[in-house]
Structure 1
Amino acid sequence: MNPQITTPTIEFARRFSSTRRGASSARKLALGQLDAWGVPHGSERSETAALIVAELAANAVLHGHVPGHEFELRLVLGTVLRIEVTDTRAMRRPLRPEPAGDAESGRGLLLVEALTKAWGVDARPPGKTVWAEVGV
């Protein structure tokens, strides 16, 4: 019988106000948590994670906001770093990004797609979770 080898994971989760300040706080706390886990602040991995958290949190605030509700950031560190942002607006699901041409917005998910191994959207009543995975 072969024992299954598993990689231990560690998790961090916190709720934030669905405001620009909440999105900024999510990014800062994510950087601090990653540093505490041994992903040094200012490293390429840390900066990549910061960009992804910033984009997903901003999208939750701008497109997933429901008055009176917060969004949640969850980080899971194992063989990959999984970043999840959950909001309560199920009706506004992000689509696969298309090149935006001269548009002044709409490039954030192109950045997320370029920086990650995988990303997607899962239904999570009463809303959705947008997740991204990056190598560690």
Structure 2
Amino acid sequence: MGFPGAAVVTSCPTGHPAYSQSLPREARSAEAARRLVRTALTVWGLGSLTTDATLVITELVANAIDHARLPSIRVTVSRPSTNRVRLGVVDRSRALPVLKAASCGDQLRGRGLLIVDSLTEQWGTELYRWGKQVWAELWDAGTE
């Protein structure tokens, strides 16, 4: 038993370890990526981000499937701070993603980054010698 009036503190680790998984560069990998994101958010007590985060990771995976070169991608989920989650997809292409204007006519595809941009606090690309990581960060205001 604790002391009367004492706050109960639970550990919610941030930083490493993060969650990551290599997946085939195939459409069916989006479900595995969503499952990884849901698992991490549940463990970290950030379930309020699940709907937006699973949509964001789906769009990032879809972009990698369309534009990467090799047969696999790597999905990462990390927690840089108590209330911030970073989702990433690493692939072997150095081609930068392009945020298209909302008024792209009647195109059915090509608006994924608009969705990512609208649901996240920030997103970007880290270039590597051998490829890139496209990442997006979501923030939970309720965990401050």
TM-score (norm 1): 0.82
Residue 89 of structure 2 corresponds to residue 98 of structure 1: no
In the TM superposition, what is the alpha-carbon distance from 1:30 to its structure 2 partner?
1.5
**Which residue of 2 is the match for residue 119 of structure 1?**
123
Aligned counterparts of 1:81 and 1:56: Cα–Cα separation in 2: 15
1:18-37 equivalences under 5 Å are 18-37=25-44
Gaps of 5+ in 2: 1-12
Alignment RMSD: 1.7
Larger Rg: 2
- 1:64·1:89 contact (CA, 8 Å) conserved in 2? yes
In the TM superposition, what is the alpha-carbon distance from 1:88 to its structure 2 partner?
0.6
Aligned length: 124
Amino acid at match of 1:37: W
Residue 50 of structure 2 corresponds to residue 39 of structure 1: no
Aligned counterparts of 2:129 and 2:90: Cα–Cα separation in 1: 10
Please give the secondary structure, in 1, of the residue aligned with 2:28: helix
- 1:23·1:61 contact (CA, 8 Å) conserved in 2? no
In the TM superposition, what is the alpha-carbon distance from 1:39 to its structure 2 partner?
2.2
Please give the secondary structure, in 2, of the residue aligned with 1:20: coil
In the TM superposition, what is the alpha-carbon distance from 1:24 to its structure 2 partner?
2.0
Please give the secondary structure, in 1, of the residue aligned with 2:127: strand
Please give the secondary structure, in 2, of the residue aligned with 1:106: coil
TM-score (norm 2): 0.78
- Cα distance change on mapping 1:8 and 1:36 into 2, 3 Å: closer
Aligned counterparts of 2:120 and 2:25: Cα–Cα separation in 1: 24
